[in-house]
Amino acid sequence: MLGERLDNRMRHLSKWARKQSITCFRLYERDIPDFPMIVDWYGDSSGTSGDAVAWFFNRTKDDTPEREREYRKHAEAEILAGLAIPPSRLFIKHRGRQRSEDGGRDQYERIDSRGVVQVVQEHGMKFEINLTDYLDVGLFLDHRPTRLAMQQRAQGKRVLNLFAYTGAFSVHAIGGGATHTKTVDMSKTYLEWYARNLALNGFAQSDAHEIVHADCLQWLEAGPPADERYDIVICDPPTFSNSKRMRADSFSVDRDYGELLQWISRFVAPAGEVFFSTNSRGFEFDPTQVPTGFGCHEISHRSVPEDFRNRKIHRCWRLAEGWKPRERKTSFEIDRSE
């Protein structure tokens, strides 16, 4: 059943992906209750071959180790058959706790060191993904529509990318003609990865396209230098972060997003816009937390990609400085015609 399902999804989505000019997409997410997993496809940049990554979730609490082993063997065989790939092209990960609040394994920690990398394509941009060493591969597929929107609106703009991870939003901004980008993250590893993503696309770090190794919260709290304002800010923070800048010595998006948005608002140019997104499942947005002078509306119905069955994978809002209600109609046009 799983193999058949993957085969059908692959046939359908590979045509769609070619039209969209993307080589990586979500094939499967808990479609069949007996196979609780996510399977993503990462086609190489030539589009001729690819790799599958499967994240297995715990099936039932009372599974014995023997039954669990049987299940995994069976599921793996189904994936290989369904996608017609050899075992060397399937990468299996186990997903339990996703975000570390109290010392559990951090989602961003290294879990392996084989360093199997691949280059994928998305709307004309190339990205390095790492299939083995981390729980995530280096490109969050659920933000693909927002990255395309970034590319389409970046011409001549100054862009600030906060909690930037491997810098995919910045690559799309530069590809779309941004005059300046600033890419901020507290992880050297991910910023080096971003530098490789820049190089893959023929771009480089420069005075115009800066990389900042910093705690975003500390950096934002300090406020912008007099002339530093951005037309587009993208802020996709982790659900939790150990940062001494926050009241509780840690950042929780559920609790601290209001303060975060206030800090960000000081960096926004007149008529500028902020895209704020979160994967926190329990997140509740209170409009009274929107900074004065900004309008805000939720765009999740358009920012979650078509290949995602889980429509609640993230939520995303657009905040606009000097926003007027009539702007709503054209505020987040995603061109899917290419």
Ligand X SMILES: C[S@@+](CC[C@H](N)C(=O)[O-])C[C@H]1O[C@@H](n2cnc3c(N)ncnc32)[C@H](O)[C@@H]1O
The residue to which tokens 């399977």 are assigned: 39
Q: How many residues bind ligand X (CB under 6 A)?
A: 18
- For residue 220 the two structure tokens come to 């934002």
How far apart are CB 209 and ligand X at their closest, in Å? 17
**Given the complex with ligand X, which of 190 and 267 has the nearer CB atom?**
190
**Given the complex with ligand X, which of 6 and 253 has the nearer CB atom?**
253
Q: Residue type at 146?
A: T
Cβ–Cβ < 8 Å for 262, 221: no
**Given the complex with ligand X, which of 51 and 122 has the nearer CB atom?**
122
User: How many angstroms separate the CA atoms of 331 and 61, rounded?
Assistant: 45
Distances, alpha carbon 222 to alpha carbons 217, 226, 245, in Å: 9, 12, 11
How far apart are CB 70 and ligand X at their closest, in Å? 35
Interface residue with ligand X, options 40, 78, 106, 185 (CB under 6 A): 185
Residue range at the interface with ligand X (CB under 6 A); choices 34-42, 88-96, 164-172, 196-204: 164-172
How far apart are CB 80 and ligand X at their closest, in Å? 29
Q: Rg for the chain (alpha carbons), in Å?
A: 20
Q: Tell me the per-residue interface mask from 136 to 155 with ligand X, x by CB under 6 A, - otherwise.
A: ----x--x------------
Interface residue with ligand X, options 20, 170, 197, 243 (CB under 6 A): 243
By CB under 6 A, residue 187 contacts ligand X: yes
Residue range at the interface with ligand X (CB under 6 A); choices 35-43, 114-122, 211-219, 284-292: 211-219
Within residues 218-237, the interface with ligand X by CB under 6 A covers 236
Residue range at the interface with ligand X (CB under 6 A); choices 33-41, 65-73, 179-187, 264-272: 179-187
How far apart are CB 83 and ligand X at their closest, in Å? 25
By CB under 6 A, residue 41 contacts ligand X: no
How far apart are CB 239 and ligand X at their closest, in Å? 8
State phi, psi for 91 to the nearest 5 degrees: -120, 120
By CB under 6 A, residue 165 contacts ligand X: yes
By CB under 6 A, residue 307 contacts ligand X: no
- Give Cβ neighbours of residue 255 (< 8 Å, ≥ 6 apart): 248
Interface residue with ligand X, options 217, 299, 304, 319 (CB under 6 A): 217
Interface residue with ligand X, options 52, 186, 296, 319 (CB under 6 A): 186
Q: Tell me the per-residue interface mask from 107 to 126 with ligand X, x by CB under 6 A, - otherwise.
A: -x------------------
User: How many angstroms separate the CA atoms of 123 and 208, rounded?
Assistant: 23
| Nearest CA-CA partner of 58 in 94, 33, 27, 26 | 94
By CB under 6 A, residue 260 contacts ligand X: no
Q: Which residues of the chain form contacts with ligand X (CB under 6 A)?
A: 108, 140, 143, 163-165, 168, 185-187, 190, 215-217, 236, 238, 241, 243
